[in-house]
Amino acid sequence: MSSRVVVIGGGICGLATAHRLVRAGLPVTLLEASDQLGGLGTFFSSQDRWVERFYHCVMPSDDALLALLDEVGLTDGVGWRPTRMGMVVDGVHRSFNSALDLLRFTPLSLADRIRFGVISLLLRRLGKGKDLDRMRTEDWLRGLYGDKVWSTLLAPMFGAKFGSAFGDVPALYLWQRLGRESNDSVRGYPAGGYKSVIDALRASIEAGGGEVRTSAPVSRVETAPDRVLVTLADGDTIEADHAVSTVPLPALRGIADEDLARRLPEVRLPYQGVVNTLFFLRKPLSGHYWAPVLRSGTDFDGVIEMTPLTGTERYGDRHLVYVMRYTDRESALYREDDASIAERWTEQLLSLHEGLAPEDVDEVRVFKAPFVEPVYPLGYLSQRPAVEVPGTRLMLATTAHVYPNVTSWNSSVELANSVTDLLLRDARRSSTQENTAWPAESAR
């Protein structure tokens, strides 16, 4: 009997991990707490169509994700389109794409506009060779751009994901993010939506003999030197030779037995959650895929208009707009009930867009997620937890491990690849020691 592996969590990281392990011939059971696979990429039904709860797109530099899509036959199914960016400052919506847009950007003085343009072009190069992991983002950017650009533009624009902690996050994170996006305005979206990717991964796991269980929350994880015991909320216990946990570390701490809890990484990262509201509109908004919203009297600080990227057909000829605010899961906004957020944010969106009338809003939905962005401390490269939990056969593959990469499907797939390599090395070693046969790499 070859090593049984349990993967905890059916987001992209768990799905990619299970897919790889099954392809290597191991018997795998994937356990997902909710009734849907996909984690932060899950979806809901509107007018009999599947729509992502949280906006998602693919970048041309997402090599690991694109390779995975290729493996499950979906590469040609990514539609690429040039997208444009806007910027809403003091209630005024502007285009923010070209040198001309920048020259017209009056919230900054002419000298600051020129400085912004020149530094932005050089920024990636200026960061090379610097220890940006130990440098505060605010110190780095304020020094380069000056106080005015920092406080008027950069802090609110890039700080959205981290809130007031943004200035303290290592500058390396922003540097990596600029590398991923690399001023590239081309973005991609899977032709069948993210659900098609999730379905293809599930099909691949099951075709290879793996088991996928949804509505299967894990309530306890116990480790011994040679096995991992995973107990489900319904009392069922699975004894595994190896396990991979993809659930956020604070959630894993809540289900780890005492011994495992002691072995888990000491670093305790705060996480930002997100409150995100979808608007199905009867008319387009601005045509800008992304527009940060600064000082405009709104609770949300960004607007994503999906339809310039995806078209309207998949939403029943409606235009889809997401507005969002990243916030702590304990904040008053996060705890507020969905109906009042929907009502207030609808008014705020209408106030930002004069051409938009209440009757143009067809449907409003609110979704929240508690663990989205780990707020990395300075020097996190040396504190980043190892994926291996010492003295156990449990491995960790979470968003706390992808740094300095940006949290994204691509980073999760890269992480899944490296964790799988390590696990296969260990499983091969134990199968040699125990003199058991290693499975043929064909169970696909």
Ligand X SMILES: Cc1cc2nc3c(=O)[nH]c(=O)nc-3n(C[C@H](O)[C@H](O)[C@H](O)COP(=O)(O)OP(=O)(O)OC[C@H]3O[C@@H](n4cnc5c(N)ncnc54)[C@H](O)[C@@H]3O)c2cc1C
d(CA 249, CA 1): 31
Would you give the DSSP letter of residue 83? -
Q: Which is nearer to ligand X, 153 or 255 (CB)?
A: 255
The stretch among 53-61, 200-208, 279-287, 436-444 that binds ligand X (CB under 6 A) is 53-61
Chain-centroid distance of CA 423 in Å reads: 24
| Residue 40 binds ligand X (CB under 6 A) | yes
Rounded to the nearest whole angstrom, what is the least distance from the CB of residue 107 to ligand X in the complex? 26
Chain-centroid distance of CA 361 in Å reads: 28
| Residue 407 binds ligand X (CB under 6 A) | yes
Among 238, 255, 394, 400, binds ligand X (CB under 6 A): 255
Among 39, 127, 190, 308, binds ligand X (CB under 6 A): 39
Q: Which two tokens stand for residue 8?
A: 């905890």
The stretch among 51-59, 84-92, 116-124, 287-295 that binds ligand X (CB under 6 A) is 51-59
Rounded to the nearest whole angstrom, what is the least distance from the CB of residue 192 to ligand X in the complex? 16
Q: Which is nearer to ligand X, 26 or 40 (CB)?
A: 40
Site string for ligand X, 299-338 (x = CB under 6 A): -------------------------x--------------
Rounded to the nearest whole angstrom, what is the least distance from the CB of residue 112 to ligand X in the complex? 30
Q: Please give the span between the terminal C-alpha atoms of the chain, in angstroms, as a whole number.
A: 18
Distances (CA, A) of 362 to 56, 263, 275, 355, 388: 22, 50, 20, 15, 48
Rounded to the nearest whole angstrom, what is the least distance from the CB of residue 103 to ligand X in the complex? 29
Can you give 315-367 as a three-state secondary structure string? Answer: HCCCEEEEEEEEECCCCHHHHCCHHHHHHHHHHHHHHHCCCCCHHHEEEEEEE
d(CA 43, CA 197): 12
Among 83, 272, 327, 412, binds ligand X (CB under 6 A): 412
Q: Which is nearer to ligand X, 11 or 308 (CB)?
A: 11
Question: How many other CB atoms are there within 10 angstroms of residue 147's CB atom?
Answer: 9
| Residue 409 binds ligand X (CB under 6 A) | yes
Q: How many residues bind ligand X (CB under 6 A)?
A: 36
Among 19, 20, 23, 56, binds ligand X (CB under 6 A): 56
Would you give the DSSP letter of residue 152? I
| Residue 10 binds ligand X (CB under 6 A) | yes
Question: What is the H or E stretch that residue 377 is in?
Answer: none
d(CA 280, CA 108): 34
- Class of residue 134 by CB neighbours under 10 A (exposed 0-12, middle 13-18, buried 19+): middle
| Residue 32 binds ligand X (CB under 6 A) | yes
Residues 210-249 that bind ligand X (CB under 6 A): 217-218, 246-247
| Residue 172 binds ligand X (CB under 6 A) | no
Angle (deg, nearest 10), helices 171-181 and 110-127: 90
Rounded to the nearest whole angstrom, what is the least distance from the CB of residue 2 to ligand X in the complex? 24
Nearest by Cα to 270 from 173, 161, 134, 177? 161
- Residues binding ligand X (CB under 6 A): 8-14, 31-34, 39-41, 54-57, 217-218, 246-247, 251, 255, 274, 276, 324, 369, 372, 398-399, 407-410, 412
